[in-house]
Structure 1
Amino acid sequence: MLHLRLITPPDRTDDVVRLIGNTVGTTHLVVLPGAARNPAGDVVMCDVAREAGDGLLSALQELGLDRNGSIAVENIDLSLSRRADKAEAEAPGEGADAVLWEHLTDATHEESTLSVTYLAFITLATMIAACGVVLDNAVLIVGAMAVGPEFGPLAGISTSIVQRAPRLALRSLIALLVGFAVAMAATVGFSLFMDAIDLFSKAQLEADRPQTAFVYAPDWFSFIVAVLAGAAGTLSLTSAKSGALVGVAISVTTVPAAANAAVALSYGDMNQTWGSTTQLLLNLLGIILAGTLTLLAQKYFWTRGRRTREPA
């Protein structure tokens, strides 16, 4: 269930209440006349089944509530109410399959913002991965994958394509490109420093590395895994199962490939630099492609399912 807290202009309150009352899957309607102060207006609250949430939010925006009032949405972790159970049963579809497009756009917008924190995470992840590839340590590689924040901008690009949001696409692309550029440049410097204090060496980089050689040897499996991980990551975002994102993060060699390219570049090994860069680009392309197709499929099947369930 979702909880909606609305601030409505007094002349729109009746329309909002009528809309909520006519939406299948809503309950616990509360109206507080004149309770809001900034902006001034009435406060309307209700609970709505997740599968009915996107339609209700779209209708509220059509009433101009996002411009003249306020729409706040929260997830309800626990609701002990027979009315809530009935509302969920009456709402068409399954809540786990529903996509809140406004929430997805807002979430990916936040995750794809180029910030100091984002740059710090992706840089630290790439440096950890650099240690992993030089030491041929799979544990460090997995740790670097989990730290890397690059899935946010990748999801933002997929969402922007489906929702036709050019600003989100630009923001996500800038975060992705600038983030990897800064992280790789910093890792080149880190690699040179580690070499200067005799912790990294070219011999280690070019030695047989059975645990981490895959980061500079792209093949079809690299692309296929990226596609599968991209689909899983997108589903985890849209179904609010964020725990699955950790599994997605450690499935794709984006950060490790960037790290190996940076270390190889610092030693002038262009074969590994090119191989790692190709691996990185293949993984990024696979995730974006899979995320976009997954969102398009969800949009198509959910819209078709709603039309099928609507009474004639």
Structure 2
Amino acid sequence: MLHLRVISPVSRTEDVLAMLRVQPGATHIVLTRGGALDPEGDAVQADLARECADEVVDALEAMGLAHTGAITLEPLDTVISDAATRARRLAPGDPDDTVVWEELIGRTREESTLNATFLAFLTIACLLAAIGIVTDSPVTIVGAMVVGPEFGPLAALAVAIVRRQGRLARRSLLALVVGFPIAMAVTAVGALAAQAAGWLSLERIDEIHQVEFIYEVGPFSLVVALLAGSAGMLALVSSKSAALVGVFISVTTVPAAGFAVVAATVGQWHVAFLSACQLGVNMVGIVVAGVLVLVLHPHRRRAFRGTQGARPDRVW
């Protein structure tokens, strides 16, 4: 379930309460008159079944509360209540099949922001991938896959395409277009230093056998990217974050970027080109799969119904 907290102008409070009372998936409704100080108004709280959360948020936004008050949603891990059990039973659908769009947009927006933390994780992941390539170590390559934060912007781009959110799309593309070149440039400096120290050479690259799969582009590259992207988006939609680890170690985005840098450093331009192609195939496959999952999802119609009355910053 989700916990809803609303700051409502006094003139809108009765409308909020009336909407919540007729919502079968809403329970534990609490009203505190004059409880909100900034912005001023009444504080309304309720617990919602995930199945009805998107509909409730749409109704609150239609009342203008995103501008005149505030709408907050928080996940609840444990709720012990007969009323909550009844609300979950009466709410139509299944919680795992429910898209809470504002929650999904908020999560992907946060994970697709270009900042120092994102760049640090991406750079560390590329450096780990380069070390795994030089040492022919699949274990290190898997570590680089897990550390890499690139799935966040790719998932956000898929959400932006489906919801027609230009701002989110630009944010995601900025993180990818700026983040990867910076991480690869730092990795190139490290590779050149390793070459100068005698740790990296053309002969050493030719002896690599266990990590050749990184640059071997084929039909299965796209298939794996599509499957991983689908699993990742389903994990985000259903809030099953444990499945994301499997997604991270299924695709070779960061390892391909690292391999392209290492191969270019020693003059293996053909391998560098194939690695770059592998990177592109994986990124495109993940985004396409994410879009397909969201478009084919049972709650797709509700999503587009909410978009029709969207605020200006929610359209292209």
Same fold (TM over 0.5): yes
TM-score when normalising by structure 2 = 0.94
Where do residues 77-96 of structure 1 align in structure 2 (5 Å cutoff)? 77-96=77-96
Question: Would the aligned equivalents of 2:202 and 2:266 in 1 still touch at CA under 8 Å?
Answer: yes
Question: Would the aligned equivalents of 2:98 and 2:299 in 1 still touch at CA under 8 Å?
Answer: no
Runs of 4 or more, structure 1, over 3 Å off, are: 299-304
Return the alpha-carbon distance in structure 1 between the equivalents of residues 299 and 277 of structure 2: 33
1:171 aligns with 2:171: yes
Return the alpha-carbon distance in structure 2 between the equivalents of residues 249 and 302 of structure 1: 30
Return the alpha-carbon distance in structure 2 between the equivalents of residues 294 and 160 of structure 1: 13
Q: Which residue of 2 aligns with 1:292?
A: 291
Question: Would the aligned equivalents of 1:109 and 1:168 in 2 still touch at CA under 8 Å?
Answer: yes
* 1:76-119 CA-partner distances (Å, limit 9, x unpaired): 10000000000000000001110011111111111110001100
Where do residues 130-279 of structure 1 align in structure 2 (5 Å cutoff)? 130-207=130-207, 209-279=208-278
Q: Which residue of 2 aligns with 1:45?
A: 45
Q: What is the CA-CA distance between 1:59 and the residue it aligns to? A: 0.6
Return the alpha-carbon distance in structure 1 between the equivalents of residues 56 and 95 of structure 2: 14
Return the alpha-carbon distance in structure 2 between the equivalents of residues 303 and 153 of structure 1: 24
Return the alpha-carbon distance in structure 1 between the equivalents of residues 72 and 110 of structure 2: 16
Question: Would the aligned equivalents of 2:97 and 2:298 in 1 still touch at CA under 8 Å?
Answer: no
Question: Would the aligned equivalents of 2:99 and 2:299 in 1 still touch at CA under 8 Å?
Answer: no
Return the alpha-carbon distance in structure 2 between the equivalents of residues 150 and 19 of structure 1: 40
Q: Which residue of 1 aligns with 2:280?
A: 281
Count of equivalent residues: 303
Return the alpha-carbon distance in structure 2 between the equivalents of residues 9 and 279 of structure 1: 53
Q: Which residue of 2 aligns with 1:63?
A: 63
Structure 2, unpaired ranges of 5+: 304-316
Q: What is the CA-CA distance between 1:204 and the residue it aligns to? A: 1.1
Q: What is the CA-CA distance between 1:255 and the residue it aligns to? A: 0.4
Change in Cα spacing, 1:301 to 1:106, as seen in structure 2 (3 Å) is closer
RMSD of Structure 2 on Structure 1 (CA):
1.2
Identity across aligned pairs (percent)?
47
Question: Would the aligned equivalents of 2:99 and 2:237 in 1 still touch at CA under 8 Å?
Answer: yes
Question: Would the aligned equivalents of 1:98 and 1:302 in 2 still touch at CA under 8 Å?
Answer: no
TM-score when normalising by structure 1 = 0.95
Question: Would the aligned equivalents of 2:154 and 2:283 in 1 still touch at CA under 8 Å?
Answer: yes
Q: What is the CA-CA distance between 1:198 and the residue it aligns to? A: 2.0
Return the alpha-carbon distance in structure 1 between the equivalents of residues 100 and 227 of structure 2: 22
Q: What is the CA-CA distance between 1:205 and the residue it aligns to? A: 1.1
